[in-house]
Amino acid sequence: MNIKLSKKSISDIKADITVEFLTSDKLSDHTETKILNQAGFKAEQDSICFLHERGILACGIDKKNNDNIRSAAASAIKALKSSNYKSVKLDVISNSSLAGLIEGIVLGGYEFNDYKSKPEEITLKNISLCINTLDFKKVQNTFNEALIVANATCFARDIVNTAPQEMHPQSMVYLAQLLAADNSLECEILQEKDLEKEKMGAMLAVGRASIHGSALIHLSYKPANPKKIISLVGKGLTYDSGGLSLKQPASMVTMKMDKAGACAVLGMIKAASELKLDVEIHGFIGAVENMVGGDAYKPDDVLVSRSGTTIEVRNTDAEGRLVLADVLSYAQDKVNADYIFDFATLTGACMVALGQYTTGIMGHSSKLKDSLCKASSKSGELTGSLPFNRHLKKLLKSEIADISNVSSKPYGGAITAGLFLDKFIKEENKEKWLHFDIAGSAYTETPWDCNVYGGTGAGVRLISNFLKNID
């Protein structure tokens, strides 16, 4: 779809249909109030009503804010894609709501049809946004930024949605190299021989049974005179069978999404480089496939991580934290960053705690967590903070190694996973680090807000907003 800004009055723009956002208190002022009332339209949030004979699509919103506009625009675009209209026009309410409008259109209209033999052709081609009463220069800047972030989110979604026979660790290496070439990024790849030299025993163990070699990907975006240096670490389990602690068949379906943390990091660095942010960014990805085979790592194994910490394996399905342990260790030695953020579909327990729409944030710095919560509110992504405490930390005790890879009790699973990662964060970096558990927010089989079936690109909008406004 072609989305463009227009300085013309909306009455002067030629289009097949006009989209109008209406609140319930303004419904009585509409020129077509009688027809809308007859149709039963009450202007409730995300409700829609086609007045085909008038060339109008009415969309209900509770309030004219960014979040409501985003959600309503997503509902509108889904309805329009099911119609035979070729062009649409709508008024931009304000510059502050434009980002939400763009995200609603792009993300709500997203489809992943790579495996459809005959994908449905979409008739809708052109979307005109009327901004004749607004400052064109400011609006254009907001428009361009929103489009970059939305497209980067779709980029992350595409990788998440790619089937595991195509997107394995070495495919992810190739994809990272392409992104580096297209966006003028530095790219360093550590293959298994390099991982052995780095003594990454935990990461290597997880991928041992796969026919696809594990790899650590390091992408760098380095502008001149950056304000800050940020390390972003992503869990890249291209597929997770659970290993010898095999998942139930129903739980194994959708496990292509276990690479969503890595996909988010790729989307974040893509957006930052295209926005030309004055922040140096290092993306570290542990690309691994957790499979079953004669060489698979086992419960009762004791692994030696890169940091020298020994880990007792009690469940091979708690593999992401093993990969991240080594990647976090490497990232801290490689880059002296101001902030270190890791992203992982780490625990189903996070969904139990916060629901499937919300990303769990964990760490030691209340100030940093507060900054990210503010960025989440502005970006439209949902986050919730989960608190560390010393009593839960005791549940990771091992009688034969330095730490166990799972808790001895089934409670507080998201937090104990975060506390496991905390073991591998250097003391001087504790206040710089945050862990983001995106197990619930990274993938959906039920559309909500601007998210459609499949990968959501969770984290890309959140971190892009944080980086744009960093001090």
* Catalytic residue ranges: 247, 321
* Structure token pair of residue 166: 């195509």
Q: Which amino acid is at 462?
A: L
Lay out the sheet containing 280-290: strands in order across: 186-190, 215-221, 280-290, 229-240, 339-344, 433-437, 359-363, 383-385
User: What is the C-alpha separation between 381 and 360, in angstroms, rounded?
Assistant: 11
Task: Give the helix ranges, DSSP H, for 129-286.
Answer: 136-161, 169-183, 192-197, 201-206, 249-252, 260-275
* Structure token pair of residue 348: 């189903």
β strands within 206-335, DSSP E: 215-221, 229-240, 280-290, 302-304, 310-312
Q: Which amino acid is at 6?
A: S
Using alpha carbons, select from 226, 223, 225, 205 the residue that is nearest to residue 214. 205
CA angle 53, 54, 56 (to 5 degrees): 115
Rg of the chain (C-alpha set): 23
User: What is the C-alpha separation between 243 and 12, in angstroms, rounded?
Assistant: 62
* Structure token pair of residue 439: 């197990």
